[in-house]
Structure 1
Amino acid sequence: MKHSLQIISPFLLLTHFSCTSQLDSQPMEPFLEKPQELHGDEPEVVPDEIDEVIESTVEKPRTEPPPPIGTEKDEINESLEQGIPLEINAEVQRWIEVFTGSHRDMFQRYLNRGERFKPMIITTLRDQGVPTELYYLAMIESGFSTHAYSHAKALGLWQFIAGTGKRYGLRIDRYVDERRDPIRATISASMYLNDLNNVFDSWYLAMAAYNAGELRILRAIMKAKTRDFWQLARGNYLPDETMNYIPKFLAALTIGSNPEKYGFTIEPATDIPPLVSVKVPSPVKLDQIAKLSGVSLKELKENNPHIRRNMTPPGLKEYRLWVPEYERAQVLAVQDGLKTHRLKISSSQRKVARRYHRVRRGETLASISRRYGLTIRQLKARNGLRSNRIYAGSRLIIRDSKSTERYRVRRGDNLNLIARKFNTSVRNIKRLNNLKSTRIYAGQILKVRPRG
């Protein structure tokens, strides 16, 4: 079923991923991707949305393991039943031969490494309404390494470049780089891929855009006058790395779906406990958390590879860290003690929700909107601005009782639930979004205006 996406336009989607990974010492030619330039500033997702997904889906109690990849057969999303078409042609067969031949050892390492993340990734993909086969896209991107880094500065499990990571709700600054957080990055990647599929109505083209950039794929479609990926590839309308990107993914999916057939044996990750999040006061040092709670500082750092300066980020009252489930109670028990160890920070480092902002020298609408989790369009609308020009000393309205917010529909939502959440009415939500019925879809963006 095609989603009703209200904010995505191919002409406005100007960010992308770069997919070059540097993981192991041996040659990585089959996984190398050409970097692209970055465009666009306005965020599609803000960090609070990522936290909401963690609370509502990632940490939801589950009585059964997630279904095997590609076997979803329920009411979550009819498009999941179709999944991603598995085509075996000459291009795909060539990569199967590479992965089972000259790069067999490397592919085996990736299969084993992915077992640690597999339950989390496929559950997150499923809950966000995208096919779980995309698990193998993370393999192609990074080999399931949280520290994978490219010369184009793409980073982490899903190889976000900084601009796209921020645009899809990841915090990236001198204190944290959530591209290295497997859970947060998987949520962001799911949202981005979902948006791309809504734009192109094709998972092959969505993945191609993930690799090469949305505008490049759009130009190729317009030039070739076809939306068939294989025709675009065989007609040389796509970059070389993108022409190989889908065949590599399909080859990985084919082998991963039946590893024994190709002579692979996957080692289960039995010694790694599942992680859960725990909110701690911020900013505090990790060694202080370890000292008061009794958890291992080494494990705390290993489970939170996105923490860059041995401390939780300033500008937030609380921040989620990942710990094994059996250590959660220990950290929760020292909350009050940790509050007394908050680090003092300068006012310039604080990032708080406030009604007004006084423009300082060097600031732009883009930097101010990012600071408060708004889009440039929202900021201009609230202040009646016709251009992007602002002046130091002027005061901008950040929040008011009439401000319109955006909400991304999640699995299980309905208009009544959303209306109660924002203290508004179903009628108002329908009017703001030009809805003729109460039917909504996971991943859809709704405008909401809370009552004052």
Structure 2
Amino acid sequence: MKALKFIFLALLLVAEGFASQPNLMRANHDYILNQFGIENNESSQNVVAGIFRAIDAGDRRQFKHIVTSQSHNAYLVKTEIDNIEAPEFLLYLAMVESHLKNTVTSGASAGGMWQLMPTTAKNFGLRVDNAVDERRDPAASTDAAFSYILHLKQNFGKWYLALMAYNCGEQRLRNAINATGSDDLGRLLKSKALPTETKNFIKRIIKYAYIAQNENMRKILLFENEPWGLKRIAVAPGTKLSAVAKQIGISPSQMQDYNAHIKNGISPLNGKYFFYIPQSKYAEFVVNQGILQAYEPRLKNRKGKAKGALAGLTDELSAKNKKVVALNNIKFNK
């Protein structure tokens, strides 16, 4: 993820009118416009102010419920965002797409927390087959989703356009921009050429960006004194989720929830693979690993140092993701 951190930092530095963290007790429209790459003019101010005024108590309850009910995933994504200094609205993207649930599948067959289509997932290095669906792997899918959104940012130049393309597809957004004659947010939101779903999608992400400015919501996103971390452990071929659950003292349903990427409740038979367990249960896993015929993998980055929530991603996965490598030399339009 080192390359991704470099790119995210570069994007933040070239953003026009870079703003500091706003006063968390009030709305800051300039901050929102800056974060999403929306042109800061009177028209855009009116657009985002209208989205802000539409926030109600239900929106705030839903924001809090999603983060607290899916704390492990929220913690993982927020930690990685902080580690590579990516825009925080990437967390809100996943909240809107799936409510941070790894098990969600759309009618169009998009799956996982980031609602990736099978082809997109494979293009960005994820394994999707009869044994494993890594769109439901919280760490690997986050890595792929971040890479995909960077790809979209490269193509469209502005964050809000990249987010809309994430929802409706690159070509459909291009068609909407061409039909509208502009990529201005306000004009696109009024255009019949842009799908209603996509209009609601970007509005909800912006709503969450406003809600997250509230002091109480900031406290929730700090995850202080709460052991939400997951530990990635490698297991032998054919290891059952239920066997590991029993040995570390959690329910089979909990184990399955942490490992939605594992199909049929068993690790692939064609090689060593990995499960996730709560960080707090790792000592029990080590004690029993002989029984489980499992082992703790040495999964480090190229310099041998662990890297945040995605420390478990292997170099093999990074090597598969040729698109990420190509992003090293991207030049973005302001």
Aligned-partner Cα distance in 2 for 1:224–1:199: 18
Structure 2: runs of 5 or more not aligned: 16-34, 295-315
- The answer as to 2:85 corresponding to 1:123 is no
Q: Secondary structure at the match of 2:108?
A: coil
2:195 paired residue number: 239
RMSD: 3.9
1:369 paired residue number: none
| Equivalent residue for 1:302, pick from 257, 260, 269 | 257
Aligned-partner Cα distance in 2 for 1:256–1:96: 12
| Equivalent residue for 2:277, pick from 323, 332, 345 | 323
Contact kept in structure 2, 1:226 and 1:232, CA below 8 Å: yes
Structure 1: runs of 5 or more not aligned: 1-52, 58-71, 341-372, 374-403, 411-432, 434-439, 445-452
Aligned-partner Cα distance in 2 for 1:148–1:294: 26
| Equivalent residue for 1:109, pick from 65, 68, 92 | 65
Contact kept in structure 2, 1:176 and 1:313, CA below 8 Å: yes
CA deviation after TM superposition for structure 1 residue 92, in Å: 3.8
- The answer as to 2:119 corresponding to 1:163 is yes
Aligned-partner Cα distance in 1 for 2:133–2:224: 26
| Equivalent residue for 2:237, pick from 282, 288, 292 | 282
Q: Secondary structure at the match of 2:36?
A: coil
| Equivalent residue for 1:84, pick from 26, 30, 36 | 36
Label 1:285 to 1:114 Cα distance change in 2 as closer, same or farther (>3 A).
closer
CA deviation after TM superposition for structure 1 residue 120, in Å: 2.0
CA deviation after TM superposition for structure 1 residue 254, in Å: 0.7
Contact kept in structure 1, 2:124 and 2:323, CA below 8 Å: no
CA deviation after TM superposition for structure 1 residue 186, in Å: 1.2
Aligned-partner Cα distance in 1 for 2:117–2:324: 25
TM-score (norm 1): 0.52
CA deviation after TM superposition for structure 1 residue 126, in Å: 5.2
User: Which structure would you say has the larger Rg?
Assistant: 1
1:129-208 matches, within 5 Å, as 130-208=86-164
- The answer as to 2:178 corresponding to 1:222 is yes
CA deviation after TM superposition for structure 1 residue 173, in Å: 2.8
Label 1:235 to 1:327 Cα distance change in 2 as closer, same or farther (>3 A).
closer
Label 1:168 to 1:207 Cα distance change in 2 as closer, same or farther (>3 A).
same
Aligned-partner Cα distance in 2 for 1:294–1:76: 38
Aligned-partner Cα distance in 2 for 1:328–1:408: 34
Aligned-partner Cα distance in 2 for 1:216–1:75: 26
Aligned-partner Cα distance in 2 for 1:202–1:219: 16
CA deviation after TM superposition for structure 1 residue 197, in Å: 0.4
CA deviation after TM superposition for structure 1 residue 266, in Å: 4.2
CA deviation after TM superposition for structure 1 residue 122, in Å: 2.8
What letter corresponds to residue 80 of structure 1 in structure 2? Answer: L
Label 1:182 to 1:269 Cα distance change in 2 as closer, same or farther (>3 A).
farther
Label 1:121 to 1:273 Cα distance change in 2 as closer, same or farther (>3 A).
closer
Q: Secondary structure at the match of 2:234?
A: strand
Number of paired residues?
A: 282
Label 1:283 to 1:174 Cα distance change in 2 as closer, same or farther (>3 A).
same
Aligned-partner Cα distance in 1 for 2:241–2:207: 41
Aligned-partner Cα distance in 1 for 2:56–2:215: 10
TM-score (norm 2): 0.68
Aligned-partner Cα distance in 1 for 2:228–2:97: 25
- Larger helix proportion of the pair: 2
Identity %: 27
Contact kept in structure 2, 1:282 and 1:313, CA below 8 Å: yes
1:381-400 matches, within 5 Å, as none
Q: Secondary structure at the match of 2:183?
A: coil
- For 1:93-120, what per-residue CA distance to the aligned partner results, in whole angstroms no more than 9, with x for missing partners? 4544554245453343124335443342
Aligned-partner Cα distance in 2 for 1:328–1:182: 18
Structure number with the bigger relative contact order (C-alpha 8 A, sep ≥ 6) is 2
